[in-house]
Chain A
Amino acid sequence: MSELAPDVAHERPPVALRAGDLARVASRSFQLQALLSPERMQGLGFGFAILPVIRRLYHDPASRGDALKRHLRYFATHPVLSGFVLGSAARLEERRANGAPVTDDAIDSYKRALASPLAALGDPLFWVTLRPLAGLLGVLAVALLPRPATGEPDLRALLCPLVLVLTYNAVALPYRWIGVSRGYEHADRPDVLLRSLRLPELTTFLEGAGAFVFGSLLVLLAAGLDVASSAWGRQAGGRMLEAAPLLLGALIGFVGMRRWPSRSVEVGLAALFAGALLAAWALIP
């Protein structure tokens, strides 16, 4: 024991990351795309987010610079799920700082291997399903909440955006906050980490919820048009003429968005143009 003591005294004491470091990484992950570029994608953002870890683990400028360079390479994943990769990378950096044989390429390969499935699972959940659902719920709130009486403030202007923001963030923010610590804990078992997130199940549930809310919105709008009233039977012709612009718009949207799914603005402008032609039609007083 006495023979070993001098060696131990010369060795650098092991460094460990603290909960505060991981929390700082999580908060910085919100700025992941500030310097997004086609060549590196979120690479510079990853380097920025992991800086608290680098500062804790390395103390001389050369090793800090080397560590930062490792993380400035190409990196792309879903921003909400980036914390899982950041946490895992932090664990690998900690091991490397404590002398484990973890090479630059091993860290880079690990990051890429985890980032790709997270992007593949995160895009359908957050961009394709949750964001549209949150927007639809905000619009549903416009139709659902009562109009204010004359002279009273229209609280819908506050509540509808709030519904949208709260719906999205109720799902997304927990992933952001727990991401770094969960990634740090499960760095050795990325497969377990990915399965534990249950992202495909959540996507399927939210897809059903989106369609459900759409059906509900249609009924609320139809209730506003009073389609169940007996007047539709008595004055069917006049009522259909009144509904014609709505149906024309629906037709333009249905055909246009089916043929060019990503050209919603152009389809909207085309609808506006068609509506202007209809409105300018000589028969309409």
Chain B
Amino acid sequence: MIPELLRIALLGGIVAVDRTAGWNLMLSQPLVGACLAGALIRPGPEWELWALRVPIAVGAILQLLLTNSALPAAQRPHDTAAAGVIGSSVALLGLMRLHPILPVSAAGLLWVVVGVAAGLVAAVLGGWFARFSRGAVSSTAGRADALAERGALGSFERLYWGGLLRLFVGGALWAWGGTLLLLGFALWLLPLLAVVFTARRAGILFAVLLGTALAAAFHVHVRGRARGLRWAALGAIVTVLVLRAFHAAAESGAAGGDAP
């Protein structure tokens, strides 16, 4: 498991820098982090299907849930970057280890639910972690002033790159530690609840989460937007028309194929 955890740590460091240092290339979005984690874990050919499918579903639900329409200053400090990486990693690593007890064929959606739950918890814990590491920057400002006073531009530059490195290492450590912590918890708890987790119950949990995620997206994209409902209705109508056109084309194609 060490190579997987090292890759997760590397990804955690990159997404942390993207989110906090100002790159803002959106590598830190839950959907991206979850899919990249799935690709990096590479659990082997026998898990190939789930290694890609579970992270997509975990990432998509976390993406809708964690997208916040409030301005960053008004938001609670949640670590959305680590949420996708940790959620997806916990789901995949747990799936590989608990397969004999919780077979994927019976409860594939269960691992999506486990991944989303791990991602949500990681977002809260990561927010505390980020707040703690930000506190260390205040003392750096004094050192930067002293270096500017001496005209030591090179030293100031090194101090700054050191701050960037600290963000990377902090993100990597959190992704590594958070995955281990939540995976350990999942490996302890899930076997105890194995009898309860039928495929149907996992499906219910997944549907509840999907409904919540869609409602969250409604608040972000429609409610409170200028003419939001009108645009959403237009989008729905256009999609219905396009789907009907595709359906009709497919049917006429099939009828043409049946003709002698």
A residues adjacent to B (C-beta < 8 A): 29-40, 42-45, 47-48, 51, 54-55, 60-65, 68-69, 72, 79-80, 123, 126-128, 131-136, 138-139, 142, 153-154, 156-158, 160-161, 164-165, 168-169, 172, 204, 207-221, 223, 243, 245-254, 256-258, 261-269, 271-272, 274-276, 278-280, 284-285
Smallest CB separation, A203 vs chain B (Å): 10
Not counting A33-B21, A268-B116, a sample of 19 additional A-B residue pairs whose C-beta atoms are within 8 angstroms of each other reads A31-B21, A38-B138, A39-B141, A47-B144, A61-B152, A65-B150, A135-B30, A157-B53, A161-B59, A169-B26, A207-B231, A215-B232, A221-B214, A247-B211, A265-B65, A268-B66, A271-B209, A276-B205, A279-B205
- Given A65-B150, A261-B70, A279-B201, check contact A252 B208 (CB 8 Å): yes
* Chain A residues, CB < 8 A from B39: 157-158
What are some 28 contacts across the A-B interface (CB < 8 A)?
A33-B20, A34-B163, A64-B153, A65-B148, A68-B156, A69-B145, A69-B148, A72-B148, A134-B29, A135-B31, A154-B53, A157-B39, A160-B31, A204-B226, A211-B221, A211-B231, A211-B232, A215-B231, A215-B232, A245-B203, A249-B211, A251-B215, A252-B215, A253-B214, A253-B218, A262-B76, A269-B117, A275-B204
A128 with B69: CB separation less than 8 A: yes
Complex CA gap A254/B225 in Å reads 16
* Chain A residues, CB < 8 A from B53: 154, 157
A138 with B29: CB separation less than 8 A: yes
Complex CA gap A39/B208 in Å reads 42
B239 with A131: CB separation less than 8 A: no
Total CB contacts across the A-B interface at under 8 A: 358
B32 with A164: CB separation less than 8 A: yes
- Given A31-B21, A248-B208, check contact A44 B140 (CB 8 Å): yes
B residues adjacent to A (C-beta < 8 A): 17, 20-27, 29-32, 35-36, 38-39, 48-49, 52-53, 55-57, 59-60, 63-72, 74-76, 78, 113, 116-117, 120-121, 123-124, 134, 137-138, 140-141, 144-145, 148-153, 156-157, 160, 163-164, 167, 196, 198, 200-205, 207-223, 225-240, 243
- Nearest 9 Cβ contacts at the A-B interface: A249-B211, A253-B215, A215-B235, A61-B151, A65-B151, A275-B208, A211-B231, A212-B235, A215-B232
- Given A211-B229, A257-B215, check contact A249 B208 (CB 8 Å): yes
B235 with A123: CB separation less than 8 A: no
- Of chain B, the residue at the smallest CB distance from A261 is B70
- Given A31-B21, A218-B214, check contact A207 B226 (CB 8 Å): yes
- Given A207-B228, A214-B217, A284-B201, check contact A157 B56 (CB 8 Å): yes
* Chain A residues, CB < 8 A from B163: 34-35, 44
- Given A132-B221, A157-B55, A268-B116, check contact A252 B31 (CB 8 Å): no
* Chain B residues, CB < 8 A from A128: 69-71
A268 with B120: CB separation less than 8 A: yes
* Chain B residues, CB < 8 A from A72: 141, 144-145, 148
Complex CA gap A208/B238 in Å reads 14
Complex CA gap A136/B173 in Å reads 29
- Of chain A, the residue at the smallest CB distance from B123 is A265
- Of chain B, the residue at the smallest CB distance from A154 is B52
Please indicate which of the listed interface residues A44, A62, A165, A252 has the most CB atoms of chain B within 10 Å of its own CB: A44
